[in-house]
Structure 1
Amino acid sequence: MRFALLLIALLCGSIQAADSMRLTNGEWPPYLGEHLPHHGVASRIVAEAFALQGVEVRWEFHPWARSLKMAEKGERDGSAVWLHSSERERLFHISDPVVESGYYLFHRKAHEFDWASVEDLRGLRIAGTRGYDYGEAFQRAEADGELQVVRLNSDEQGLRQLLAGRIDVFPLDKVVGFDMLHRHFSPAERARLSFHPLPLRSDNLHLLLSREIPGNAELIERFNRGLAQLRESGKVAQYLLEIQQPLSLGH
């Protein structure tokens, strides 16, 4: 009898553990952020997709490198949201796409330019944010010295250098850029900037669940089912529209 009660307690504990998970996160408004409503739109999509499958998400916010490492080691269940790569596929179960990120080249309206390939960017004064990957062609041209790229500490610093005329172009996720401009820059400053309509890179971002944790293969399938339900309900499109409506530079 005592053994049976112990077994039931262990089983209940396992079920409870599976129905609540700890995910790491970072600061990337309006997609992700500790103090944003719903912790950002990407966090909201992840949490609500899991909720449709009866799983509660508890978020933890850390610097990005630490967030990824904690999930990789299995110290946390997973992390949101990240690009897909072969290396990450080896370490994580990778979800269906949560949101799409499009990087565009921001510039001053007084400094119009056109481009069709990375080679067309030669001779321009370019900045990028440290640790950011702007796509294979851009990264290779930067590494080979074909593009002169100054790496800065933050996206905001890049926009300020752009406004100051110290650089000619700055690659930035369009939605993130609009949000940052509206939160940290004046209307007069915003009016001086635009972006080229050709994306530098466009990628899907995913939830990662650690392969170190038993049961995560099944949980990523549950998440994908919940995500599909959320999309079919129209809520994903609604949430993404809500963060984009007030963000425009007139392009």
Structure 2
Amino acid sequence: MRTLLLSALLSLIGCGLAAAQSVRLTNGEWPPYLGEHLPHHGVASRIVSEAFALQGIMVEWEFHPWARALLMAKKGQRAGSAVWLNNSEREAKFFVSDPVMESGYYIFHRKGYSFDWAQVADLQSQRIVGTRGYDYGKAFQQAEASGQLRVNRVTSDETAFRQLLAGRVDLFPVDKAVGFDVLYQHFSAAERAQLSFHHTPLRTDSMHLLLSRQVPGNAQLIKRFNLGLQQLRESGKIAQYLLEIQQPLSLSP
């Protein structure tokens, strides 16, 4: 009996240690950065997982619609969520990591279309398509809300590109890597050859891991993650992983 009790106790202790070395995070669909069925669940997920692994922590991913993914983490139902923009509202609810990666939004257009811009006000005469739920930056969002910009919001990046190719709109802002991923997944080489993008980014942002302030131990966990992230960056692997998703980006601005 004592042997059985000791074995059970050791088993429980072992389970507790194992649990302490794993973290459950929510995620969403944003190829090539994030995706349930992508290799490594996407490059951003890979960076997060490997940074934690350098600290001896295994990530357990759960994929949900974005709003639900963030809410579950905010309530402490999961340890956190990846990857997100930082703002004051999120800092109040989460421990925000050092930058995991950078996102750059560029304005795509048809080749041969005469187009230049330096500030959002320069876009007011253009027919613009945008994807629902996407934030294109404070100046753009304010200009859209005030009616200064004409923006047709559609349900997906693919639909936006199809409208652009059909000439129904003139411009489409999208993260460059995301845009090229959509083009290579859903469009022919002949269709891709009809498009280009402006060299001036509409917005550039750092993307972060968020760990809920509702979960005990997360204050220490974010420090361990940042340390692992620094180690991974210094190894050159982050730059390598991000370069790998840029290689197909052959359209010239």
Please report the TM-score for the alignment, with normalisation by the length of structure 2: 0.94
Whether the 8 Å contact between 1:127 and 1:150 is mirrored in structure 2 is yes
Whether the 8 Å contact between 2:35 and 2:41 is mirrored in structure 1 is yes
What is the alpha-carbon distance in structure 2 between the residues aligned to residue 142 and residue 250 of structure 1?
28
Q: CA deviation at 1:123?
A: 1.3
Alignment counterpart, residue 50 of structure 1, candidates 35, 52, 68: 52
What is the alpha-carbon distance in structure 2 between the residues aligned to residue 229 and residue 243 of structure 1?
21
Q: CA deviation at 1:150?
A: 1.2
Whether the 8 Å contact between 1:182 and 1:247 is mirrored in structure 2 is no
Does residue 166 of structure 1 match 2:168?
yes
Does residue 111 of structure 1 match 2:113?
yes
Whether the 8 Å contact between 2:197 and 2:252 is mirrored in structure 1 is no
Does residue 226 of structure 1 match 2:224?
no
Whether the 8 Å contact between 1:80 and 1:208 is mirrored in structure 2 is yes
Q: Deviations over 1:178-210 (max 9, x none)?
A: 111111100010000000000000000000111
Q: CA deviation at 1:151?
A: 1.0
**Greater mean deviation of Cα atoms: 114-123 or 18-27:** 18-27
Q: After TM superposition, which residue ranges in structure 1, 4 or more long, deviate above 6 angstroms?
A: 5-11
Q: Which runs of 5+ in 1 are unaligned?
A: none
**Aligned sequence identity (%):** 71
Match of 1:238 in 2: 240
Whether the 8 Å contact between 1:24 and 1:80 is mirrored in structure 2 is yes
What is the alpha-carbon distance in structure 1 between the residues aligned to residue 192 and residue 205 of structure 2?
26
SS at match of 2:207: strand
Root-mean-square deviation (Å): 1.7
**Greater mean deviation of Cα atoms: 105-114 or 191-200:** 105-114
SS at match of 1:75: coil
Whether the 8 Å contact between 1:104 and 1:171 is mirrored in structure 2 is yes
Q: CA deviation at 1:245?
A: 1.0
Which AA in structure 1 matches 2:119?
S
Q: CA deviation at 1:8?
A: 8.2
Please report the TM-score for the alignment, with normalisation by the length of structure 1: 0.94
SS at match of 2:204: strand
